[in-house]
Amino acid sequence: MTPAYNDAVQTWNERFSGEDYLFGREPNEYLRAQASRLPPGGRALCIADGEGRNSVWLARQGLQVVAFDVAQAGIAKARKLAAEAGVSVEYHLASCDEWRWEADAYDVIAAIFIQFADPEMRARLFANITKALKPGGLLILQGYTPKQLEYKTGGPSALSHLYTADMLRDAFASLRIVELTEYEAELNEGERHTGRSALVGLVAVKD
């Protein structure tokens, strides 16, 4: 593992070491807004799931959920959240480069605020997401746009990690885009994602 990777693991474990849920216990609002598009059952993958708010919510929608993250401290809190919600989620400790990406494996993939990836890692990650969706599978992705650097209400500080709608359209050109929207909203998702935010949301299907 590279020093940068070890730093990221240490940083996120420290951030998740408190009692509070850093991004809250409720799911990401953009993900929740896609509830009516979810299949009634099937397999879902939550990438870089943190403390479990999105995986637990997807499991509560009736999906069989697998999730991974690099931070053991996040996974421990995710397990607790799942137990409290009375749902079962399969959690794994892995980075997006270590994860064993199966082809045509998931009915739903949730990629919510995974902007830790630099452009090279992001290219590998987005290609793996496309590969791992089943035919008919749904990708739900949320990130910040470059305008977020003015708001400073969450997300990475490096411009190269942020998304534009055009970038996502190119990156997921092999998928059918159902919705791709740049918008601004007041987020209230735990202490790290609070306030006016410049966002992009993508829903796409692998035909």
Ligand X SMILES: C[S@@+](CC[C@H](N)C(=O)[O-])C[C@H]1O[C@@H](n2cnc3c(N)ncnc32)[C@H](O)[C@@H]1O
Quick note: the x/- pattern for ligand X over 99-138, rule CB under 6 A, is -------------xxx-x----------------------
95 binds ligand X (CB under 6 A): yes
145 binds ligand X (CB under 6 A): no
Q: How far is the CB of 114 from ligand X (least distance, A)?
A: 6
Distance CA 34, CA 180 (A): 13
Task: Tell me the CB-side half-sphere exposure of residue 11, using CA atoms within 13 A.
Answer: 7
- Of the pair 120, 150, the CB lying nearest ligand X is at 120
Distance CA 121, CA 150 (A): 25
Q: How far is the CB of 49 from ligand X (least distance, A)?
A: 5
For ligand X, the binding residue among 38, 45, 48, 200 (CB under 6 A) is 48
Beta strand 106-112 with 43-47 is parallel
Dihedral over Cα of 119, 3, 157, 30: its sign: positive
75 binds ligand X (CB under 6 A): no
Least Cα distance to 159 among 169, 171, 149 occurs for: 149
The helices-and-strands tally (H runs, E runs) of the chain is 7, 7
Q: How far is the CB of 30 from ligand X (least distance, A)?
A: 10
Number of residues that bind ligand X (CB under 6 A): 19
Instruction: Enumerate binding residues for ligand X (CB under 6 A).
Output: 8, 12, 23, 28, 48-50, 53-54, 69-71, 74, 95-96, 112-114, 116
